[in-house]
Amino acid sequence: MIDFGYSLTPSSTIEIDDADMSLFDELCAVEPDAIKCMSCGSCAASCTAGVFTDLNLRKVLLGLQRGCEEDVLPQLKSCMLCGKCHIVCPRGINTRHLILSICKIYNI
Amino acid sequence: MKRNVLIIGGGPAGMEAARRIRDYGHTPILIEKESRLGGHLAKWHKLFPEGESTEELLTSLTADMEGINYFTDTNIVSINKLKNLYVAIFSNGISVQADAILFATGFSMFPAEKKEEYGYGIYNHVITNADLEHFFNTGKDPRIKEPKVIGFVHCVGSRDEKAGNRQCSKVCCATALKQACEMKELYPDATIYCFYMDLRMFGRKYEDLYLNAQRKYGILFVRGRVSEVSEDIDGRLVVKAEDTLVGKPIRITMDLLVLMAGMSPCVENPKIASMTGVHIGEDGFFMPRDLLYRSVESHSKGIFFAGAATGPKTIPETLNEARAAAMAIDHYFKQKA
């Protein structure tokens, strides 16, 4: 192929049509509170690991909802299951339980 | 002495005020430009926060109309001030002398076709909140065909200076969630998205509506204003927005898009204001004496306001203002006597 000296940049658009939501649906079946999140950010703000790593539970949940699990799941490896996010969540989501279920269903 | 009160507008504000004014012993004369009473409310099917029936509310509002003179299909031709009286001429040729006037002129729906990028009136599957209520009432709309993916666009013609409406229309967030849940009941397999800027669930039970929409109906929320809509080769809608919480643009193909058209000032406000000298705010809504303490009084003696004439309001706020206006009018007569 001729090298023209430039390359194509992949689009950053999230194509919802192509998202495979089967694992997320499976998650919601065992963790119906997964869709109660209103993205307030309390979990990320209180996270003991989040200040040293990229862990952000709000972004993880949103990423799963948009079918971008590959982008967000590695974050969960930094979670120490301290449970501070559970204490602050205004929607009362059992975040620790939710994180464990995510790990189980998405096999991480 | 019996006094005449001219009430302009036969929506919930005008109807409620008319009965209260009659109960104070005065004579209400109600005029409505459309062929039936009820205003925008009469076109709705169910109401937030708990799916209350519009028909029941209208029945309560019209149950006791004895002693209320009302004219439908009637407009104001002119209003002139004569000392302490107003003389109004109607389009049906009747003229009345009124001791006080109540503006219950409400709002005009924002014309959704003005937001051309959303394609209302251009694409086959773009409808408005009012169209969807009509569908709930009649079961008929050729644009709704077993939709699998449905989107609701909040703030269409609200919080939009370019569209001429800087204000929040107040009722659309709750209406969108109510309608999204109703659609999910009709089409349980559909995936439903709400595109919002802020979810303004300010009233009692509204937050429960939000929680129900998430938990019970699985409505998905995207924080971001839809930027543009196009149609693909199969006639489905391609919707673009930024998911501002993810920080990336998203694209979804949909079968139905519902635009939450907001409340614009009533298009006849400038005409009525010029006849009576009442003030109009920068936003186009009538300006009361002040926004806190005298919210139902105008700057002109003997002229009062109720309901969405002075800005977007919910039904209970409108009804309470109608009662407050009736009381203010009675108080005004007592002071004059």
Are B228 and A13 in contact by the 8 Å Cβ rule? The answer is: no
- Strands, E assignment, B99-247: 100-103, 107-109, 126-128, 149-156, 191-196, 220-223, 226-231, 237-243
B211 contacts A32? CB cut-off 8 A:
no
For residues A44 and A72, give the distance between their C-alpha atoms in angstroms, rounded to a whole number: 14
- For residue B83, what pLDDT is reported? 87
B245 contacts A39? CB cut-off 8 A:
yes
For residues A54 and A75, give the distance between their C-alpha atoms in angstroms, rounded to a whole number: 6
What pLDDT band is residue A13 in, cutting at 50, 70 and 90?
A: very high
User: Cα–Cα–Cα angle for B50, B54, B58, nearest 5°?
Assistant: 135
Are B276 and B300 in contact by the 8 Å Cβ rule? The answer is: yes
Please give the residue of chain A at the shortest CA–CA distance from B249.
A13
Extents of the domains making up chain B: 4-106+266-336, 112-263
| Fold category of B112-263 in CATH | FAD/NAD(P)-binding domain (3.50.50)
- For residue A83, what pLDDT is reported? 95
For residues B181 and B263, give the distance between their C-alpha atoms in angstroms, rounded to a whole number: 22
Is A10 within the bounds of a domain? Answer: no
Q: Is A68 on the interface with B (CB under 8 A)?
A: yes
- For residue B180, what pLDDT is reported? 98
Sheet of B256-261, strands arranged across: B126-128, B256-261, B149-156, B191-196, B220-223
Number of domains within chain A: 1
> Residue A26: what are its φ and ψ, rounded to 5°?
-65, -40
What pLDDT band is residue B109 in, cutting at 50, 70 and 90?
A: very high
pLDDT at B27 over 80: yes
pLDDT at B190 over 90: yes
pLDDT at B257 over 90: yes
B250 contacts A14? CB cut-off 8 A:
yes
Are B155 and B196 in contact by the 8 Å Cβ rule? The answer is: yes
Are B154 and B28 in contact by the 8 Å Cβ rule? The answer is: no
For residues B121 and B197, give the distance between their C-alpha atoms in angstroms, rounded to a whole number: 24
User: Which CATH number does B4-106+266-336 carry?
Assistant: 3.50.50.60
B246 contacts A68? CB cut-off 8 A:
yes
Q: What is the pLDDT of residues B69-84, one digit of tens each?
A: 999 999 999 999 998 8
Please give the residue of chain A at the shortest CA–CA distance from B216.
A32
Q: Which of B125, B124, B132, B127 is nearest to B112 (CA)?
A: B127
Interval B17-38 mean pLDDT:
97
Q: Is A88 on the interface with B (CB under 8 A)?
A: no
Is A4 within the bounds of a domain? Answer: no
Q: What is the pLDDT of residues B44-97, one digit of tens each?
A: 999 999 999 999 999 999 999 999 999 999 999 999 999 889 999 999 999 999
Are B294 and B301 in contact by the 8 Å Cβ rule? The answer is: no
Identify the domain containing residue A40 by its residue range. Answer: 20-105
Rounded mean pLDDT of chain B?
A: 96
Is A79 within the bounds of a domain? Answer: yes
Q: What is the pLDDT of residues A31-79, one digit of tens each?
A: 999 999 999 999 999 999 999 999 999 999 999 999 999 999 999 999 9
- For residue A1, what pLDDT is reported? 76
For residues A9 and B137, give the distance between their C-alpha atoms in angstroms, rounded to a whole number: 49
CATH topology agreement for domains B4-106+266-336 and B112-263: yes
Is A59 within the bounds of a domain? Answer: yes
Place of tokens 């004569």: B82
Q: How many CB pairs under 8 A join A and B?
A: 49
Return the half-sphere exposure (C-beta side, CA atoms, 13 A cut-off) of residue A107: 1
A13 contacts B249? CB cut-off 8 A:
yes
Q: What is the pLDDT of residues B119-147, one digit of tens each?
A: 999 999 999 999 999 999 999 999 999 99
For residue B277, the tally of other CB atoms under 10 A from its CB is 13
Q: Is A45 on the interface with B (CB under 8 A)?
A: no
pLDDT at B2 over 90: no
Q: Which of A15, A35, A56, A70 to mutate to test binding with chain B, by most B CBs within 10 Å of its CB?
A: A35
B218 contacts A16? CB cut-off 8 A:
no
- For residue B336, what pLDDT is reported? 83
Q: Report the gap between the CA of B16 and the closest CA in chain A (Å).
A: 38
For residues B255 and B299, give the distance between their C-alpha atoms in angstroms, rounded to a whole number: 49
pLDDT at B286 over 90: yes
- For residue B177, what pLDDT is reported? 98
Place of tokens 């998205």: B193
Q: What is the pLDDT of residues A79-108, one digit of tens each?
A: 999 999 999 999 999 999 999 999 999 998
| Residue B158 in tokens | 């609200």
> Residue A107: what are its φ and ψ, rounded to 5°?
60, 55
Q: Are β-strands B248-254 and A14-15 bridged in parallel, bridged antiparallel, or unpaired?
A: parallel
pLDDT at B28 over 80: yes
Please give the residue of chain B at the shortest CA–CA distance from A67.
B250
- For residue A70, what pLDDT is reported? 95
Q: Report the gap between the CA of A3 and the closest CA in chain B (Å).
A: 30
pLDDT at B161 over 90: yes
B250 contacts A16? CB cut-off 8 A:
yes
Is A70 within the bounds of a domain? Answer: yes
Q: Is A28 on the interface with B (CB under 8 A)?
A: yes
Q: Which of B128, B139, B137 is nearest to B257 (CA)?
A: B128
Judging contacts by C-beta atoms under 8 Å, the chain A residues touching residue B245 are 39, 58-59, 62
Q: Which of B316, B319, B294 is nearest to B306 (CA)?
A: B319
What pLDDT band is residue B211 in, cutting at 50, 70 and 90?
A: very high
For residues A43 and A88, give the distance between their C-alpha atoms in angstroms, rounded to a whole number: 7
